[in-house]
Amino acid sequence: MPEARKFLVAAAVVFLAVLSVIAGAVFDCTAMPGRSYQGLIPALDSADSQLQERLRAHVAALTAIGPRCHQVPGSMAKTVAYIGEHMKRCGGKVEFLPFTYDGEVFTNIELTFAGSSEAHRGEIVVVGAHYDSVSHTVGANDNASGVAALLALAENCRGANPGRTLRFVAFPNEEFYFRTDGMGSSQYARRCFERKEQVVAMLSLETIGFFSDLPGSQRCPALLSGLYPDRGNFLAFISTSEARALVKRFSGLFRENSSLPSEGLAAPAFVSGVDWSDHLPFLQLGYPALMITDTAPYRYPHYHSADDTIDKLDFWRMTLAVKGIESALLKLSDAGTRDLR
C-alpha cells in the first residue's frame, strides 16, 4: 500500500474514533431514562384544578407585591412574610435564616419535614426557589412561578412521611447578586457545608410557567443545536456534568408518572445556561444539584422584561409539571433510593 494511502486510512480511522467519542459524550449528556410523554395533554381532574388555582393564587399574591428586590423598599419583607405564613401552615419546622451582605440583611426561609427512617434521616433533599425578581418587573414567571411550585409542593408533601429529610427553602438575591456570596442559596449551601450536612440532592425551581406548541418557540445553546425539540412544550432538568447521576435519576422518575413532555441535560459548565440558577452554589460545594425549568431565555419571550406578568403563564401545564415533580420528589426522598453522586 502506498505511504500516502496508508496515511489517509490512518487519518480516517482516527477521525472516526474521535467522532465516536464525541457522539458518545453528547449522548451521555442528553439521553435520559424512560420516554418523554408524547400524547395529548390531559384535562385536569378536580384535585388538579384545585392545585391549579393554588398555583395561580400564589403567583397573583407575589406579583401583587410588585418587583421583589432590595432596590424596592419593603418588597423583600412582604415576600418573606407571605412565604413564611404559608410554610407555617404546612406543619413542619419553619426557620427564618437572616444573613448580612453588602450592608443589608436578607432572609432565607426553610421548611423541614424530618425523615421517617432513622438510618436515612440525615440524608437531606433540598427543594429551593428564589423569591426575588429583577427590579423592573413583577417577575411572574421568573420566579413567582418557582415559588408558587415550592409552596404547592410543600403543602402537598405534608404528611407524606418520606424516609429522607425534605427541606423546602426560599432564597433571595439570585438576580442582582448572581455568582456572589450575596445569593441566598450561596449562604444556605455554605451553611449546610459548614454544618457537615449530607445533602444528597438539591432541586432548584427556576422559571417553570411558560409553554408553547409553536414551531420554533424553543431555542438551545449553539453547541446543542438540533438535539432538542423546537417546540417549547416540555419541562427541562438541567445541570453540569458533575450532577449527571441526579439529572438522569430525577428525569427518569418524572417520566414514570408525568403527562408532560420532558428533556434533560447534564453538560460541561462551559455550555451556556447549565448553571444559571440556585443550584450553582450547591454544585460548587460538591453537592448533587439540578435546575427544573422551562428554559427561561431560551423560550420565554418576556424574560427579565416588564411584560413578565401573570397572564403569560400556562397554569394548566404548570399544574402537570408540579404533579410530576411531586411524584418524582417523593420517590427520590424514599430511603430506598440509591445514591445520587
Compute the C-alpha angle 158/163/165, nearest 5°: 65
Q: What is the pLDDT of residue 22?
A: 43
Is residue 128 a contact partner of residue 278, using CB atoms and an 8 Å limit?
yes
Average pLDDT over residues 63-75: 98
190 in any annotated domain: yes
Average pLDDT over residues 101-112: 98
Average pLDDT over residues 232-250: 98
22 in any annotated domain: no
Residue 260 and residue 39: Cα distance in Å, rounded?
A: 9
Closest C-alpha to 84, from 98, 72, 69, 95:
95
Task: Report pTM.
Answer: 0.93
Give the CATH number for residue 66: 3.40.630.10
Residue 27 and residue 34: Cα distance in Å, rounded?
A: 14
Residue 36, pLDDT > 60, answer: yes
The number of distinct structural domains making up the chain is 1
Local structure of residue 312 (DSSP, 8 states): G
Summarised one tens digit per residue, pLDDT across range 11-20 is: 555 554 433 4
Closest C-alpha to 156, from 330, 331, 317:
330
Q: What is the pLDDT of residue 4?
A: 63
User: What DSSP line would sit under 150-178, residue for residue?
Assistant: HHHHHHHHTT---SSEEEEEEES-TTTTT
Closest C-alpha to 133, from 220, 62, 213, 224:
62
Residue 193, pLDDT > 70, answer: yes
234 in any annotated domain: yes
Summarised one tens digit per residue, pLDDT across range 122-159 is: 999 999 999 999 999 999 999 999 999 999 999 999 98
- Residue 221 CB neighbour total at 10 angstroms: 16
Q: What is the pLDDT of residue 284?
A: 98
**What's the pLDDT band for 28 if we cut at 50, 70, 90?**
confident
Average pLDDT over residues 183-199: 98
9 in any annotated domain: no
26 in any annotated domain: no
Summarised one tens digit per residue, pLDDT across range 298-314 is: 999 999 999 999 999 99
Is residue 239 a contact partner of residue 279, using CB atoms and an 8 Å limit?
yes
Q: What cell was used for 223? A: 453547541
User: What DSSP line would sit under 117-148, residue for residue?
Assistant: -TTTTTEEEEEEEE----TTS--IIIIIIHHH
23 in any annotated domain: no
198 in any annotated domain: yes
Is residue 283 a contact partner of residue 335, using CB atoms and an 8 Å limit?
no
Domain span at 175? 31-332
Residue 219, pLDDT > 50, answer: yes
Residue 209 and residue 211: Cα distance in Å, rounded?
A: 7
Summarised one tens digit per residue, pLDDT across range 42-55 is: 999 999 999 999 99
Count helices and strands in the chain by DSSP H and E runs = 8, 8
166 in any annotated domain: yes
Average pLDDT over residues 206-232: 96
Average pLDDT, the chain: 93
Average pLDDT over residues 164-193: 98
Residue 25, pLDDT > 70, answer: no
Q: What cell was used for 140? A: 411572574
